Structure 1
Amino acid sequence: MSQGGRPHPHVAIPQSGNQQLPPAVWSSNVQDYDFPTPVVGTAAQPWHSPDYALSPTQAYSGPQRTNSSLGRTASFSASYHDPDASLFQFPEPQIHRSVSASSSRPSSLQGSHRYAKSDVGPALHSPMERRLSEDSAVFTPTQFTEDGLSKELSSMTLQSEEGLRRFQAGELSPADEEWHRLVPETAKEALGPKEVQRQSVLFEVFKSEREYVSDLEAFREVFIDSLPTAGVMPPEQLQDYVKETFWNLDEIISHHQSMLGALFARQRDQHPLIQSVTDVILETVLNFRPAYDSYIKHYPIAEARHRTELKKNSRYQKFAQRCMQDPRIKKRDLVTFISRPVTRLPRLMLVLEHLHKLTEAEHPDLDNLPLIESILSDFIKSTQPGIASSESKVKLVSLVDSLQFRKGEIIDMDLFDESRQLVHMGPLARRQRSEVDWHGWHDYVVALLDNYLLITRPETRPGGVVKHSVVSLPIPVELLRLGRFDEPSETRKERADDGRLLESLRSQSKPMYPFTVYHAAAKSSRRYTLYANSESSRKKWHDSLHEAIGLRVARQEANQWFAPKTLDTGFFGTAAGAHAATGRITAATPFVSAGKKFLAIGCSTGIYVGIRGHSDFKKLIKCASPTSMAALQDYNKLIVHVNSLLYSYSLDILARVSQGQSTPQALEASLETIAGQDNPVIFFRAGELLKRMIVVYACKSFRQTTVQALEAVKHPTGHPPRGSSGSMAFRNFGTPFYVPRQAYDMTPMTRTIAISTERGLVVIDPTNLSTSATLVIPDFNAVSTSHDERFATLKTRCEAAKPLGIARSDHDESLVIYEEFGCYVSRHGVPTRQFSFIRWETKASSFAHRSDNILLFNSEFVEIRNVQTGRLVQVIEGRDIRLLHSGPPAIGPLLIAMRAKSVKDDSGSGSAGGLSNGAVSDRIMELVETAEIRTPSALTPASSMDGMMWDEWDM
């Protein structure tokens, strides 16, 4: 008896059960991905077509896709390392016959029955029921009800219960795992062909779900659970591999175990005449969609990871071969099981569509079946973009793994970022004629990422491994510009290569379609004319490049590491005609007085002072184009370098005069000449040295440069007595020293000073000249070997380059900054990182160091890079960009000036600040660091080292 108190409707299996119906009727021995074979009388149905069915002898050998129009199968997956392999395709269902699995099912899958709409009496008054009641040759003429049918079937035999138990346990032979083998011949004749076919399809739902769960559980037990003890890879690597390859498979298994338990309970309750299972399927489909969505979209990455490990790890390869020998695996490879969840839903939908066609118009399943089919169809379509994205990710990983860069260069393109995308990739040609190359055509593979454009030359290595050698420095997308895409095609002639002697002397011609791209900071030297083999390919490249540039610019603007904030525009600028103007901005510095924030702006006509945020600046100091300025806030001094002299003014008096609270005479009275009377000052810098505020300046003589350091002195009241330097507020710090020839700039460190000279970066301790050595960095003399090609390349490059300064990257390393590149040195000045260097995208004229980043300033661009990796993180574009202020201290505001458009464009009117229409104005901006989006570094942040001593710098 059933749990519900009513007898099971059993049908006897006659002793002559080996007598089978013709194969065309009953050979529905299919797996969960098969379409049930129809009974006689349905030969016109589409599943009889060769396009929908494979040969009965064709074995299942892993996921394939069927081209229904050609009646053939194609490879489903692409090689992880082979860029020429086809893209991943969403697995489509296959229809073929195979032997069903016979693995045992655990008793834990027994589930409780939930009654469907078809379980109640009114649902049974269908044409099928009327046919059963009319068939007096099988059943006694009685009123047809569910109880009546159950009694009639149960009275025949109880042997079917044992057959059902063995089916659910997977103990039947493959030939007996069919619905028609579990019911008597008389019952099949009574039900009629259409209902028999419907019951066969319902039985297929049970069997396919059982085999699907059995396969997934065998896969987990044999493959996944055995990996930790197989010794195929280190434990830390194994954890990542299991996560990336098997993803959320456990979640999917759990959903289907529950579904199978409910289906088996329904089958035990209603066999042999199953009324409905759509309620069970609908509930499960609604629950497992998120799990399947995650798994299917990740599948291309999972398969690629497995194939990669299979190629490079011999121990893993042997382990996989051992697992295939397990009887439950039936010699199927790992890809077959990884793809099972991907192919399950389309195959389930095919079975349900067939069931829908066999369901009578009055059957309650017509409420659920269209809904389930619609949910599955929409869901399968919705996963396509995710699969395409994963396929692109796999191609990207394959490309990254195959890239070969020039030795000696550090190129960090952030290729392993989760958001990295391969936008477009394909073959293109370039025309570079030479004496030994008669045709001048060369083939390349060009890859457009979301952040870089790569031009590579493919090379096939032994073993069929393809490598892509990067032939030119990658172009950042934010600096990529498009030239012409409409030039006429050119003819490419190539020698025929078909093995025949005469034909090899002939040439073949084909049209090539040119387009031009170039680097915004090197319009002529980094300009590339590439050729596509068709007009459609050229248009595809144009659309991909245009879209990638737009998206990159939008992302950069939305995620800026340093946000330009305009402080003033329109007031400062050059004269047009006879109108007076401030002139070009050359220097600036911020300071605070009486709680108010001021800006001192140096122009070609003098120094202007005003409150920050206001455009009411007043010219307080008459001088011509000051070179640089620095405000020593704690010492109440403004240092000005102008006309080869070094002056100082009182900051407080400067602020009061700008507000009309003091007289210009008082400001003149605070003037003090610091240096330059004897020899012209060529530059100065202010900073902390040994926790003291010093001003270091350089004076040029005929054959050498003299460097002098002065210490700022605090005096609480009155006028201090003159120091030993003759200054009232500064005294000599250490001993003056000399550097040969030309010096360009200097970087104050904790206890030493780095001077940028023609010979390199000279590091000197001004307080201990007699006992300390003068170190020139990078120190190539300290390298024990000079046979490395990279060593010679770096040495030659550094000796011919102009150094700008040095920035601390971490506790043990610093970055030496040149105009066009940078290289890392140890705290002893010895080159590190295998003598490699970083090439800038622009030629820098100055730099600033803030937190984890360095900012390289060019007249058109500000290039922002991570100081520890050299990675380009942001580019700011402008016209006539100048660094006005970067310290001290190194954590203060960064002020820049850049050329704005006409004053009319800036202010919306014909003139502003005394300039006539058409004049050119300067824009003052602050680069504000956006700390909220800073990525934490694995190394010690530079910001945390601002107060650290540089005592480790061993000279």
Structure 2
Amino acid sequence: MKPSTAVTNQKHSLVYPALLSKVAEAFENRIVTGERNKNSLTYTKAFTGAEAVDALAHIIKTSDRNLALLLGRALDAQKFIHDVTYDHRLRDTHNEVYQFRERTFDEDASTTGVNGVFTLLSECYSPTCSRDRLCYSIACPRRLEQQARLMLKIQPGLKRNESRSSIHAEETEKKLWIYSVPKDVADSVSDKERKRQEVICEFMYTERDFVKDLEYLRDCWMKPLRRGSIIAEHRREKFIRAVFANILDIHAVNVKLAEALTKRQQQNPVVREVGDIIIEYAKKFEPYIQYGANQVYGKYEFEREKASNPLFAKFVDETERLKESRKLELNGYLTKPTSRLARYPLLLDAILKNTCADSPDQTNIPKAIEIVRGFLTRLNAETGKAENRFNLLQLNQSLVFRPGEHFDLKLTEENRQLIFKGFLKKRMQDAQADIQAFLFDHSLLFVRVKNVNKREQLKVHRKPVPLELLVISQYENATSRLALAKRPSTSLIHAGRSAQGSKIETSNTKYPLSFVHLGRRGYELTLYAPTFVSQKKWMEHIEAQQKKLRERSGVYAKHILSASFFDSQERVNCAIPFDGSRKLLYGTDHGIFWSEMRVKPGTIAQKPTKILAMTNVSQIELLEEYGMMLVLADKTLYSFPLDAVLEATIGLSVHDMAALSRRAKKVVGHINFFRAGICLGQLFVCTVKSGSMTSTVRVWEPADHLNKGKKQPALKKLLQNQSETLKLYKEFYIPADTMSISFLKSMLCMGCSKGFEIVSLETLETQSLLDPADTSLDFVIRRETLKPLAIYRLNGDFLLNYTDFSFFVNRNGWRTRSDWIINWEGLPQAFSLCYPYILAFEPNFVEIRHAETGSLVQIIAGENIRFLHDKTRFLHDQTREILYAYEDENGKDVVASLDFWETGQHQHQNLQQQYPSPQQSKHQQL
């Protein structure tokens, strides 16, 4: 005979189901907690009764929900879980909400605090006993299991009963309105009015009971603790305030409310209205807000004192056994104020439903409900904030870092939030989850939970990951699929998402989560969720928070300028706007293309058109004042008449391409890069030929710089007749490999392997920008193989940007803002300043930071990112637009602009601060 599917299958159970400690541990790892609502109150880290039974049934592999419920009640009996109002045992329903018992940090973190054997699921000792053929013993666990399930099915106790505030079921009937008034009065009203009076009566007697509950706390707990020596005198009052908060302020309001209701009831056995009384006292419910916000602290202090103070533990046990306690533990009473506030709208709704149209309550009760719900909304908000602050404070205190490591997670900052947490396995086959992950609103933290001297410690397992730098996938090895994840055209979170939702869960099913920390100090960590639901929750929570961060920190407007045209055979290396920023020139591996810079909404963007065939175009620069375009191709610098370029974009013929090619004039060959800018009041072009030991720098000026500003036709004719477009101004050498050039007031700033070198264009005298006398700069001066790439002036200081870090110095080369430094997450290959933001471009992401605070603002992830162009070099340029390129999911180049002008035009005036005023010394002349 086949065994029934309703019984447990111990061979396939996740744990041995008879050992409650193992069941409790598996249950805690499996259940997905979160926010749950009951009677308009929001409870965090909670779950419903039905969810609990679902989890237990899965753990012991049974389809018999009654059996799983019995097992859950065995955990409930040991206070492992509890109803949020402490009113009843576990129920298999979505309407009841439960939480885990509060545990202090002093408790053994390696155990659940649950012990015992659930005999119904233990194995019978008789070798001949089986589920199909039971043995003779009346104590056989399998026989008891069957009997228990049979009894459970026929007992009415599993039905959901409305909990009464502090009222025993047997006392309830005596308090019904129909039994509290003469029979002739009860018979004189309609059925609808009788129902109304019953609810009003319930409202009144439960209000009186609530007041008695508060007085029980005052008389049986607060007063004895104040009078006795159970708690040391120096912290006695602090403890009472922590646990009981302002509960006496609530009593002061509600005792008057109860008196007013009782007086109204005594005036007439048929109460005509109560709304006016509720409105009067509901306006005074402010103490509930403070009490609710303090509850999490109060419960923690209570549990901690009970665990560490034997005298107090004895007092708790004795007091909870008193007749006045009605077998309800203290936590059950401490939740009554908030649950009472949540019950008011339910009772008032029931009264209103049975109120006749001409009653004043038809107007007053909705007003009262609105007032109370306003307090409930505030209570939920303040309770959530307080619980979040408390959890973060406790977490912050328990973190332990490796020797020499420390990461400031800023957990105590205002508005910091813990979004989600859970246990994950380091290896899929592990029986225990050994890594706990915490998702904050700004980062992700991995810790190992350790028990040291019976005190929980959270040892930081890996460096916390800023959410902007996090890529997550459902693959065991995400590195090979990281290219997909980085592409801006798809959400990071969806990288590698598979159709696991359709899988049937088994004990051998893998639910991997691969976390990739982008950047030079990044890493990849693959962990395993215990269930598919848990895996999905992690993905959803991280996705939602990353989306919030992007929306919150959006400091630019992004525009796609070209897509699905250029590919790996025609890679975009540079781009520049021209013709009044109406058109865009692209420099590629095989030539120069152009397209419209912007298209009207709803129209199809024009595909780029080739106007010039050249090899390896790496730079394009426009000298519009001189009607000149400079192009670096195959390490040779060429100049072109700008009018011929414009004509080529109009003619669009092979003849025009050939004509433009013939107009090219070679300026200089064998150079690595060039840079144009203004120094000494005029425009120069610097070309750099770099070697491993030395660099040759040539400074060029337009051949006809005296004609700058003349009308274009005359200039055009003059340029056409000239044999040269640029003439050599000066030439000098740098004894190092040069990587960048910046134009200052009267000097050039050369970024080379030795650091930033300042060169006077008048005398060609060279000196280091950094003063070696400043020992705080030793981390730079004494370091080799640095790559200085950009320098900007901000508020009188100079922001120096290297591939590793950025910091400030003054005009004398001494460090300023000593506590300010940016350690770049990636390996930037280019920088751009759009005050107040500094952007660092590396192949995998763009890092946007605040130039004044250094804080990370946003990350733009992508594949094969290349900085193309910005227009912040010249004083007259007003645009704050940056052009860059990246690959889409098909390997095609996307050219996009980041427009900071649209997000803050008023900030543009600060951009001019990078241009200094005349000074006296050589350093001051920067």
TM over 0.5: yes
1:659 paired residue number:
650
Q: Is 1:929 aligned to 2:900, yes or no?
A: yes
Residue pair 2:520, 2:827 contacting (<8 A) in 1 also: no
Q: 2 CA distance for matches of 1:722 and 1:701?
A: 37
- Aligned-pair CA distance for 1:85: 14
Match of residue 684 from structure 2 = 694
Q: Return the match for 2:339 from 333, 346, 355.
A: 346
Question: What is the 5 A alignment of 1:707-726?
Answer: 707-711=697-701, 713=705, 714-716=708-710, 718=714
User: How many Å separate the matches in 1 of 2:749 and 2:520?
Assistant: 34
Cα distance, 1:877 vs. partner? 3.0
2:838 to 854, 872, 895: 854
Q: In the alignment, which residue of structure 2 is the partner of 1:843?
A: 827
AA aligned opposite 1:843: L
Shift of 1:694: 3.0
Say whether 1:783 aligns with 2:778: no
Q: 1:685 and 1:283 mapped to 2: Cα distance? A: 75
Task: Spell out the pairing of 1:141-156 with structure 2 (5 A cutoff).
Answer: none
Q: Which residue of 1 aligns with 2:755?
A: 760
- 2:674 & 2:256 partners in 1: Cα distance? 83
Q: In the TM superposition, what are the counterparts of 1:162-241 in structure 2 within 5 Å? A: 201=205, 204=208
Rate the CA distance shift 1:340–1:887 in 2: closer, same or farther, 3 A. Answer: farther
1:612 aligns with one of 569, 581, 597: 597
The correspondence of residues 544-555 of structure 1 with structure 2, limited to 5 A, is 544-553=538-547, 555=549
Q: How far is the alpha carbon of 1:529 from its aligned partner?
A: 3.5
Q: Is the contact made by 1:881 and 1:896 (CA closer than 8 Å) also made in structure 2? A: yes
1:425 matched to 2:421? The reply is: yes
Question: 1:541-581, CA deviations, whole angstroms, 9 ceiling, x for partnerless residues?
Answer: 55224431354146526853334311122443466xxxxxx
Counterpart Cα distance in 2 of 1:444 and 1:427: 6
The equivalences for 1:621-660 within 5 A come to 621-660=612-651
Alignment of 1:246-285 (within 5 A): 276=271, 278-284=274-280
Structure 1 residue matching 2:646: 3-state secondary structure = helix
Find the counterpart in structure 1 of residue 799 from structure 2: 814
Asked if residue 528 in structure 1 is aligned to residue 515 in structure 2, the reply is no
State the shift of 1:946 in Å: 4.4
AA in 2 matched with 1:589: I
**Contact 2:684 2:700 (8 Å CA) reproduced:** yes
Deviation, 1:705, is 0.4
Is contact 2:590–2:616 with CA below 8 Å preserved after alignment?
yes
How far did residue 855 of structure 1 move? Answer: 2.4
- Counterpart residue type for residue 279 of structure 1: G
Change (3 A) 1:899 1:850: same
Residue 898 of structure 1 is matched in structure 2 by: 886
**Maintained 8 Å contact 1:696/1:710:** yes
CA–CA distance in structure 2, aligned partners of residues 671 and 69 of structure 1: 88
The correspondence for 1:748, drawn from 725, 737, 743, is 743
8 A contact 1:645–1:681 mirrored in 2? yes
Give how far 1:384 is off. 5.7
Deviation at 1:590, TM superposition (A): 0.6
Alpha-carbon separation, structure 2, partners of 1:305 and 1:637:
74
Q: Is the 8 A contact 1:392 1:421 kept in 2?
A: yes
Q: Does 1:597 align with 2:594?
A: no
Asked if the contact 1:514/1:529 (under 8 Å) is kept, the reply is no
SS in 2 for 1:395: helix
How much does 1:623 deviate? 1.7
Mapped contact 1:199–1:273 kept (Cα < 8 A):
no
1:685 to 675, 681, 687: 675
1:584 has 2:579 as partner: no
Residues 1:355 and 1:668: Cα distance change in structure 2 (over 3 Å): closer
Report SS of the residue matched to 1:572. Answer: coil
What is the distance in 2 between the residues matched to 1:711 and 1:80?
Answer: 72
The correspondence for 2:561, drawn from 549, 556, 567, is 567
Native 8 Å contact 2:755 2:768 kept in 1 = no
* Cα distance in 2 for residues equivalent to 1:75 and 1:921: 52
Is there any run of 5+ residues in structure 2 with no aligned partner, and where? 1-83, 91-97, 113-162, 168-176, 189-197, 220-241, 306-331, 479-506, 599-604
1:883 aligned partner, one-letter code = F
Matches within 5 A, 1:288-303: 298-299=293-294
Tell me how far apart the structure 2 counterparts of residues 445 and 475 of structure 1 sit (CA, whole Å): 17
The 1-side partners of 2:785 and 2:679 are apart by 30
Would you say 1:882 and 2:870 are equivalent positions?
no
Q: Would the aligned equivalents of 1:282 and 1:368 in 2 still touch at CA under 8 Å? A: no
SS in 2 for 1:881: strand
Contact 2:572–2:588, Cα closer than 8 Å, also in 1? yes
- Equivalent residue runs for 1:858-873 within 5 Å: 858-873=842-857
TM-score, scaled to structure 2? 0.55
For residues 812 and 304 of structure 1, what CA distance do their matches in structure 2 show? 52
Query: What TM-score comes out, normalization by structure 1 length?
Result: 0.54
Which residue of the partner structure matches residue 438 of structure 2? 447
Q: Determine the C-alpha separation between the residues in 1 that align with 2:691 and 2:341.
A: 89
Q: Measured at CA, do residues 362 and 628 of structure 1 come closer, stay the same or move farther in structure 2, by a change above 3 Å?
A: closer
1:883 Cα offset (Å): 1.6
Per the alignment, do residues 404 and 805 of structure 1 end up closer, same or farther by CA in structure 2, a change over 3 Å counting? farther
Give the unaligned 5+ runs of structure 1. Answer: 1-63, 97-123, 134-143, 145-193, 216-244, 311-338, 432-438, 488-509, 576-582, 903-919
Deviation at residue 767 of structure 1 after TM alignment: 3.4
Alignment of 1:120-159 (within 5 A): 128=181
Shift of 1:683: 0.9
Q: Is the 8 A contact 1:806 1:815 kept in 2?
A: yes
Q: Report the CA distance shift for 1:345/1:763 in structure 2 as closer, same or farther (over 3 A).
A: same
What is the CA deviation profile of residues 751-778 of structure 1, one whole-angstrom value per residue up to 9, with x for unaligned ones?
Answer: 44332322233343433544x6333x4x
Task: Please report how far the alpha carbon of residue 930 of structure 1 lies from its aligned counterpart in structure 2 after TM superposition.
Answer: 6.8
Secondary structure at the aligned position of 1:472 is classed as strand
Given residue 696 of structure 1, which amino acid in structure 2 is its aligned partner? Answer: C
Partner residue in 2 for 1:242:
none
Report which stretch shifted further, 445-454 or 614-623: 614-623
- Is the 1:649–1:670 contact (alpha carbons within 8 Å) kept by the matching residues of 2? yes
Distance in 2 separating the partners of 1:885 and 1:362: 73
CA distance in 1, matches of 2:391, 2:372: 27
- Aligned-partner residue type, residue 565 of structure 1: H
Deviations 1:31-73 (A, max 9, x none): xxxxxxxxxxxxxxxxxxxxxxxxxxxxxxxxx9746559xx9
Check the 8 A contact 2:573/2:589 in 1, yes or no.
Answer: yes
Which structure has the larger Rg over C-alpha atoms?
Answer: 1
Shift of 1:635: 3.8
Residue 464 of structure 1 deviates from its aligned partner by: 7.6
Report the 3-state secondary structure (helix = DSSP H, G, I; strand = E; otherwise coil) of the residue aligned with 1:659: helix
**How big is each residue's C-alpha offset from its partner over 1:703-754, in whole Å with a ceiling of 9 and x where there is no partner?**
410223345531515459999xx99665666x54322232222233444433
Shift of 1:885: 1.2
**CA-CA distance at 1:539 after TM superposition:** 5.3
Which one is further off, 848-857 or 375-384?
Answer: 375-384
Equivalent residue of 2:767, what SS? Answer: coil
1:385 offset after TM fit, Å?
8.1
Alignment RMSD (CA, Å): 6.5
Describe the superposition over 1:357-391 as per-residue Cα deviations: whole angstroms up to 9, x where unpaired: 99xx9999999999999989988987668745652
Q: 1:542/1:271 Cα in 2 relative to 1: closer, same or farther (>3 Å)?
A: closer
Deviation at 1:82, TM superposition (A): 11
| 1:382-393 paired onto structure 2 within 5 Å | 387-388=383-384, 390-393=386-389
User: Following the alignment from structure 2 to structure 1, what is the Cα–Cα distance between the partners of residues 732 and 536?
Assistant: 58
- The amino acid of 1:346's aligned partner reads S
Residue type at the aligned position of 2:881: P
Deviation string 1:185-235 (CA, Å, 9 cap, x unpaired) is xxxxxxxxx9xx9999499489779999x99xxxxxxxxxxxxxxxxxxxx
Q: What SS does structure 1 have at the residue aligned with 2:651?
A: coil
Q: CA deviation at 1:294?
A: 6.4
CA distance in structure 1 between the partners assigned to 2:739 and 2:724 by the alignment: 28
